[in-house]
Amino acid sequence: DTDSQNTLEVYGPLFLRGTATTIGVAFVCVIVGTLLGVFVAMLRLSSNKFINTIAFFYIQVLRGTPALLQVFIFYFGLSSILTIPAIHVWDINLARLIPGCIALAINSSAYVAEIIRSGINAVDSGQMEAGYSLGLNRRITMKEIILPQATRNILPALGNEFVSMIKETSLLSVIAVSELMFVADTVKAATYRTMESLFIAAIIYFMITWLVSWLVSLLEKRLEKSAKV
């Protein structure tokens, strides 16, 4: 009927934009989170007790408190110490998007740091000894022997982190960043079509995470093949 046609015309584009925002925000957060996470993992693996204790607490605090709470803390915290002008980019208020992205990227960095640390630790310690016995120093052994093997553990796990972040971005709906969850909530309130709105969001989230998981499994197979000489 025409009524549902109009509904689709009006709300279809909203869902599409929300979807694009969700993917974009998750992507940016994983990239920034990975850069930060590599740095934190290096601190965590440092032989300096003080430095690795700081990294340890950084990781524990971020993983030990709800990501939702971190989003609120960064949003209200940042807006109380500095004024981010309410500039809109593609209709998204930067004063909300920036603190939200910072919170999620920092949250992700703790998980990424653990992914990298466990990826490196999963490489048999005999490999380090093998490097030493060839007369290589710690740095070279790490770079030439350990890291190439650790990469096979780390890359798929980073792909899965992207899947997690696709879902975690829904938290930004609480600070009114118009990603997919926020759009679903808005449409639900405007149309009273509660279950339809929520299920459309669910289906879109599922299609994205399904696709990315599938790509990760392809990557995993390729890495496995390249490991067998």
**Residues that bind ligand ARG in the complex, under the rule CB under 6 A:** 66-68, 107-108, 111, 161, 164-165, 168
Question: Residue 64 Cβ, how far from ligand ARG at the closest point, in Å?
Answer: 9
- The angle formed by the CA atoms of residues 29, 31 and 33, to the nearest 5 degrees, is 60
Q: Tell me the CA end-to-end span of the chain in Å, nearest whole number.
A: 61
Place of tokens 């969700």: 22
Question: Residue 188 Cβ, how far from ligand ARG at the closest point, in Å?
Answer: 22
Q: Which residues of 150-162 are buried (b: 16+ CB within 10 A; e: fewer)?
A: bbbbbbbbbbbbb
Question: Residue 217 Cβ, how far from ligand ARG at the closest point, in Å?
Answer: 18
Q: What is the rounded distance in angstroms from the CA atom of residue 9 to the CA atom of residue 5?
A: 6
Nearer to ligand ARG, 116 or 146 (CB): 116
* Cβ(178)–Cβ(16) below 8 Å: no
Nearer to ligand ARG, 33 or 131 (CB): 33
List of residues 6+ apart from 102 with CB closer than 8 A: 74, 78
**Tokens describing residue 47:** 């032989």
Taking CB atoms, the residue at the shortest distance from ligand ARG is 67
Question: Residue 32 Cβ, how far from ligand ARG at the closest point, in Å?
Answer: 12
Question: Residue 111 Cβ, how far from ligand ARG at the closest point, in Å?
Answer: 4
| DSSP conformational letter for 135 | T
Strand 92-93 versus strand 88-89 pairing type:
antiparallel
Q: What is the rounded distance in angstroms from the CA atom of residue 131 to the CA atom of residue 77?
A: 47
Nearer to ligand ARG, 17 or 167 (CB): 167
Nearer to ligand ARG, 44 or 131 (CB): 44
How many residues are given for the chain? 229
Question: Residue 66 Cβ, how far from ligand ARG at the closest point, in Å?
Answer: 4
